[in-house]
Every structure is written in structure tokens, then in C-alpha cells.
Structure 1
Amino acid sequence: MSTNDQRLEYLRQVAAPNEIPVPSPYKKPQLQHAAGAPKKRGFRRHKNARQLVSEELRRINAALEASVVGEPPNERKKLRVRVSHFSVDAPPSIRPTKRYCDITGLAANYKSPTNNLRYYNAEIYQMVVKPMAPGVDQEYLKLRGANFVLK
């Protein structure tokens, strides 16, 4: 016997006590084929937006029809809700809004305490924001829609 055959024989001897018989409490019999091979599960398909909207339309219409059984048929047609891509409302985002520098348009890391302008770094603050005239900062804030008008 060669050394490779001896190694294979040793591995078979070691692996033999580790095998679990088919009617095991760890293996579900409904997932086993008759031949003993595990049954393949069909892959799970995610539904696209059109399918979700059409299912929601069917659910809403079924609920409306169940609630107005005693009304005439022409009244039922008026109550049908038309669901489309434009009528589906989403809740507001829970992620924080992104803040951008009012001067450069880069991601704003800081905010000036005197005039509420957002700026990218200390260099922009020293060169642009700090020496800014009083009316100019309101023009920058007006571009962002955050200006305040004193009356």
C-alpha cells in the first residue's frame, strides 16, 4: 500500500464515526429526497415596485368592497382608489440631511456662530466668512433658503 492510500484509509476511518444517519433529529426529513440528498429550495425572488403597487391596489379595493357591501354598484366604483407610482407616498427620511458649504459646495463640517453660514474648513472661514460684510452673508443664506428678514 502506498502512502497516499494509507492516508485515504486513515481519513475514512476518522470520518466514519462523524457521519450522522439520515433519520437524525438534526436533519429535517421533509427536506430530504427519497435518495437521501437534500432537497434544493427555490431561490427567493424579490418583488419589483410594479408588483408591490398592484398587490396594494388589490388589497385596498378588497377592503373597500368589503366595507360597502350594501351600497349600489355605481357607488362602489367611485370609491376605488387608483394606486400608481405617483400616488404612493413615502414617509420622511430618518437619515440626517446632508449639509454643504455655502461658499464652495463641499461637505460642510462647521457652522459660523455669528451669521449661520456653513463652511468647509478653517481656511475658508479665515479668508471668506470672517471678513464678510453684513449684507453679503444674508445673500448666501438666501441661496440656501435659510435667510431671515428683519421688519
Structure 2
Amino acid sequence: MAPATPPSNTAAPAFSLFDADITSAPKPFRKPGHKTPSRRIKNAKQIAADEMKRIQSLPDESRSAALMDTPTYLNVEAPPSVMPRKWWCDITGLKASYRMPNNGMRYHNKEIYEVIKHLPPGVDQQYLQLRSANVVLR
């Protein structure tokens, strides 16, 4: 069996922090004339503030038209979605194709159905409470 450590008569190459510096390494994936863009990224609060400043700088007659007719970051409205609502399994979080009629829990497949069927009393209400769908019977 070979020894776990190298023999002591061979000198290990010297390693320094300058060898670990990757900033001086050539970067062939970059174009030679690449320049980092000087634009900075704005968050939503800054965008809304800039939009309000722009609207306030408009003359009075065009200001009211800009607030009413033109979509801006301050008055964007979207119609309701035409896509069907997605349901999620209460146990796994996967897409739920089925629903238990007796307690309303949604489940993904028959394996999860077996788990739900054998839950102790009250545990199903705790799962439903997680998605604010629990029914309290009095």
C-alpha cells in the first residue's frame, strides 16, 4: 500500500497569494473592446419618485392628460388574468389535480391521498389553516 503523504525529499512548489489572483488572468470570453456599462439599476421606489418628478414638471394641461390617459409607472392597471387558476397540493406543494370532498384538502396523486386519508383528527384542519382555508365547525 502506498504512503498517504508524499515523500519528504521532493520539494513542493511554492504557492503565494499572487498565484491565486484571478484578476490578472486572461479572459478569452470577453471582447477586447468591452466596457462596463455606466447605467445603474434603480429600484421601484426610485422609479416611482422619478416618474412623479417628471409629471410634476409638465405644464398643468398636459399634466392632467398624462395622469389620466397615458400609462405611467404610477397608474398602470392590468386586466384580470384569462389563465385558469392553479391549485397546489396541501402536503407536497406540487400541482394538485384532485380534491378530497370530505375536508377540501387538495392532493397530487394517490400516494398523497393515502397519507391524507390516514391523518389523525384535526391535522387536516391544521394543513388547511396554512392556506387560510380551514373551516371551524361550532
TM-score of the superposition, structure 1-length normalised? Answer: 0.44
Q: Which structure has greater helix proportion?
A: 1
Q: From the CA coordinates, give the structure whose radius of gyration is larger.
A: 1
TM-score of the superposition, structure 2-length normalised? Answer: 0.47
